[in-house]
Structure 1
Amino acid sequence: MMPSPYPLEEELGMRYYASDAPGIGGRLRSSPEDFVVEELPLPISDPDGPYLICRLTKKNWELQRAVKEIAKRLGISHRRIAWAGTKDKNAVTTQFISLYDVSPEAVGQVHLADITLEVVGRSQHSLVLGGLAGNRFDITIRDCIAEDLPARVQAATEVASAGVPNYYGLQRFGVVRPVTHVVGESILKGDYEGAVATYVGRSYPRESEVAQQARTHFAKTRDARAALAALPVQMTYERAMLNHLVANPGDYAGALQALPPKLLSLLVSAFQSYLFNSALSSRIEAGLSLTEPEVGDRLLFANGREDIVSARNRQAALLQIRRGRCRIALFIPGSEPIVSHGPMDEILQDLMQKSGIDTGNFERVSRFVSTKFAGALRPISLSTDVEADVVDLSVRLRFTLPPGHYATTVCREYMKADPYMMI
């Protein structure tokens, strides 16, 4: 497997590609229409439920911002709106949201540019993250390398079918500013000032000059009032924290809790995602396979069943993997005690020790964020049958992924390009 040459991917734990074949280069998202996502919902059938289920189609909208604007138009708290999956901003996305105690007539009066809402049913329950069947993607990569382009596409398509490292993609950590895992690590350590300083004060060169200067000044001075005056008005989350600090100087814990609860929990889980990426790269670095199990590996079956590979069942496990009935998985640490079964568990425990974080940190942060971080299994490989078409220097990819898997992880194997070319 070929190592990534890009420092940003190294920083996020995404250190390897599945093959040594040359990439096609190119650029994703030359326009939002080049990245189309359609959510595949679970069945909805309860005409008397209190939750209105709507199909939300948006273009070039960040989901949290779209939800807040919809809530404002409806005159309700954004906490009454829930969703099953977080979709990309620079894209055309279709997904489902649930709205508590909202009438279809009220939804019909919501008018926002590049957003449409269509009532599709009712439910007794709110949608929850991960509560979807999957996502269908239609993606165009433009300005690809001309040399042997069809052959390179074919080689990548075969690799995608066999299996690629199931990394959490760049957008999991922040697109323009990939800092969510750093903020999450600080929250886990109880360093709330450090978390706010990173979220508000760490600047990146792809931001505007005004934003960079305001962030840098806050990082040096902790002057919330000056930063509030200088930061662009569209930075609503930073401004919410700064408003709290102006009213409550030094209360960095309260400033973090001024964020929407879902966003606050995503910051913590981003650090879990970083641990997963890093451990997966360590497995590859050790020369271990994505699809051939080692003694002590964890298995995750399609129906949710789990198992541990032993010397006795190793050959049977390999057969089950080849038949597509299960995948090798890593346990992402949380508040539950980690029982070590093999080398991958030991790698994850070592990563946590180096970070100075243990299960107690996750127990404490669960109370702070009001979200349980118990830990979970995630497959280490991702495979999908891709329908690929080459037209001049553009490549169109169509494929479907299960919940929680990243289309950019597939595109990354085709492109092998600077990750900023995928945002």
Structure 2
Amino acid sequence: MNLVDLLLRHPDAYLLGEPTGTAVIRRCAEDFCVEENLGFEPDGAGEHQFLFIRKTGENTDWVAQQLARFTKTHPRDIGYAGKKDRHAVTDQWFSVRLPLGVQLDWSAFETDSIQVLRQARHSRKLKTGVLQGNRFSLRLRDVSHPDELQQRFDQLKTSGVPNYFGEQRFGHNYGNISKGELLIAGQLRDKNRQKRGLYISALRSALFNQVVSARIQQGVWNKVAPGDVLMLNASQSCFVCTDEAELDCQSRLQQGDLHLTAPLWGQGGLMTQDAMAEFEQAVVSPWQDWCAGLEALGLRQERRAARVLLQAPLLEQESDSVWRISFGLPAGAFATSLLRELCQPENEKAVSGCSAEVDEQHQSAN
């Protein structure tokens, strides 16, 4: 069985078991709000104009294109830290390279779906990935099992959430994985560098999810063993747990100071050692062609935290069947990984106003 078939038949393991309750998400854009946190303030000087923009129901790339057109600059002079949901209200930073003497009326750029909230100068272009995290505020409608929702939320506030890559990474019916398989087999040639990167990333992400899922299934998602690779919280710094450090590492894991990790496949041996290296190798063994293909592309072996902790989580009831959940996540984490643990999310067809009854299929919020 290939991984696409496996994912369709057996989704990633739930930390708390599969929820029974359902809830409607994204009946309108205002039901899904995201605020970007760069982790720094523009320095106030330089040739790059930073703009904090609120967009409603718009694609990040499209807004960037409109900025280039409005400022009469080349698209490569526009920067942003990360793509945000189209079917949402998102506050995010953009940068545009403008000579210091150029002054523009940013109100002329605004539309019903685009508002400029802040502006400031900075010495450098905003690069992809240069952000600390995102703050989410999500409305859940028609909640069928509110007691279960509250109970699961309370547990996840303490335990954290599996740091799965969300379904958005894999495309409709895992189409990005299928194209990634063809790409590494030499059967697909796509000149679009961005698309090739997306297909390759889908394969690495799927293998990562398989290792995290296997840890949950075997009851070792939150248990340290000698040979495990741990990552410092809010850092990419990793180290291998030794026999002598096992108890201390377990204590620091429970305190949220450390996180267990899983591999992002590439060249070089696994960082895990002994039994834990054998465990990870066994999990990915059915997809050795993928591993070899990723290594041949020159990607290096990396690690990603297997757990993500919710920042300032809050669950509030707005009416009999409507709840709002707010929380922060570090850069790269998916809000859908939390939602799937809380309930069975049901999408409607997206529209811009909450008076309507329909919602489009959503995209990634990280």
Matching residue's letter, 2:73: I
How far apart, in 2, do the equivalents of 1:405 and 1:362 lie?
Answer: 24
**SS at 1:117 equivalent:** strand
- Answering whether residue 151 of structure 2 is matched by residue 155 of structure 1, we say yes
Distance change in 2, residues 1:61/1:374 (3 Å): farther
1:118 deviates by 4.5
How far apart, in 1, do the equivalents of 2:36 and 2:108 lie?
Answer: 24
Between 101-110 and 261-270, the greater mean CA deviation after superposition: 101-110
- Answering whether residue 264 of structure 2 is matched by residue 312 of structure 1, we say no
Whether the 8 Å contact between 1:170 and 1:419 is mirrored in structure 2 is: no
Distance change in 2, residues 1:101/1:180 (3 Å): farther
User: 1:291 maps to what in 2?
Assistant: 222
- Answering whether residue 316 of structure 2 is matched by residue 383 of structure 1, we say no
User: 2:289 maps to what in 1?
Assistant: 356
How far apart, in 2, do the equivalents of 1:98 and 1:280 lie?
Answer: 36
How far apart, in 2, do the equivalents of 1:395 and 1:9 lie?
Answer: 33
Whether the 8 Å contact between 2:269 and 2:301 is mirrored in structure 1 is: no
- Answering whether residue 199 of structure 2 is matched by residue 267 of structure 1, we say yes
Distance change in 2, residues 1:320/1:329 (3 Å): same
How far apart, in 1, do the equivalents of 2:255 and 2:237 lie?
Answer: 16
Select the residue among 300, 303, 325 that pairs with 1:374: 300
Distance change in 2, residues 1:117/1:262 (3 Å): farther
Alignment gaps of 5+ in structure 1: 1-6, 193-252, 367-372
**SS at 2:290 equivalent:** coil
1:301 deviates by 0.1
Distance change in 2, residues 1:143/1:316 (3 Å): same
Q: Deviations over 1:161-180 (max 9, x none)?
A: 11222111122223x56422
How far apart, in 1, do the equivalents of 2:183 and 2:63 lie?
Answer: 26
1:300 deviates by 0.4
1:328 deviates by 0.5
Select the residue among 31, 35, 39 that pairs with 1:38: 35
User: 1:333 maps to what in 2?
Assistant: 265
User: 2:97 maps to what in 1?
Assistant: 100
How far apart, in 2, do the equivalents of 1:115 and 1:315 lie?
Answer: 52
Alignment gaps of 5+ in structure 2: 349-358
Whether the 8 Å contact between 1:188 and 1:362 is mirrored in structure 2 is: no
1:67 deviates by 2.0
Whether the 8 Å contact between 2:136 and 2:327 is mirrored in structure 1 is: yes
Distance change in 2, residues 1:121/1:348 (3 Å): farther
User: 1:130 maps to what in 2?
Assistant: 129
User: 1:60 maps to what in 2?
Assistant: 57
How far apart, in 2, do the equivalents of 1:355 and 1:65 lie?
Answer: 38
1:113 deviates by 4.4
How far apart, in 1, do the equivalents of 2:231 and 2:289 lie?
Answer: 28
Whether the 8 Å contact between 1:153 and 1:388 is mirrored in structure 2 is: no
How far apart, in 2, do the equivalents of 1:419 and 1:281 lie?
Answer: 24
Whether the 8 Å contact between 1:80 and 1:100 is mirrored in structure 2 is: yes
User: 2:326 maps to what in 1?
Assistant: 398
Whether the 8 Å contact between 2:94 and 2:126 is mirrored in structure 1 is: yes
Matching residue's letter, 2:336: T
Select the residue among 175, 179, 183 that pairs with 1:183: 179
Distance change in 2, residues 1:282/1:85 (3 Å): same
How far apart, in 2, do the equivalents of 1:28 and 1:284 lie?
Answer: 26
Select the residue among 301, 306, 323 that pairs with 2:232: 301
Q: Deviations over 1:31-58 (max 9, x none)?
A: 0100000111221343332322111211
Select the residue among 241, 250, 253 that pairs with 1:321: 253
Matching residue's letter, 1:388: L
1:362 deviates by 4.6
User: 1:16 maps to what in 2?
Assistant: 13
Whether the 8 Å contact between 2:27 and 2:347 is mirrored in structure 1 is: no
1:20 deviates by 3.3
Whether the 8 Å contact between 1:336 and 1:359 is mirrored in structure 2 is: no
How far apart, in 1, do the equivalents of 2:336 and 2:79 lie?
Answer: 24
**SS at 1:121 equivalent:** strand
1:188 deviates by 3.1
Whether the 8 Å contact between 1:50 and 1:101 is mirrored in structure 2 is: yes
Distance change in 2, residues 1:279/1:69 (3 Å): same
Between 116-125 and 271-280, the greater mean CA deviation after superposition: 116-125
**SS at 2:104 equivalent:** helix
Aligned length: 341
Whether the 8 Å contact between 1:85 and 1:130 is mirrored in structure 2 is: yes
Structure having the larger proportion of residues in helix: 1
**SS at 2:250 equivalent:** helix
1:332 deviates by 0.8
What is the TM-score with the length of structure 2 in the denominator? 0.82
What is the TM-score with the length of structure 1 in the denominator? 0.72
Report the aligned-residue RMSD.
2.9
Distance change in 2, residues 1:55/1:263 (3 Å): farther
Task: Indicate the percent of aligned positions where both proteins have the same amino acid.
Answer: 23
Greater relative contact order: 1 or 2 (C-alpha under 8 angstroms, separation 6 or more)?
2
Q: How does 1:159-178 map to 2 (within 5 A)?
A: 159-161=155-157, 162-174=159-171, 176=172, 178=174
Distance change in 2, residues 1:31/1:418 (3 Å): closer
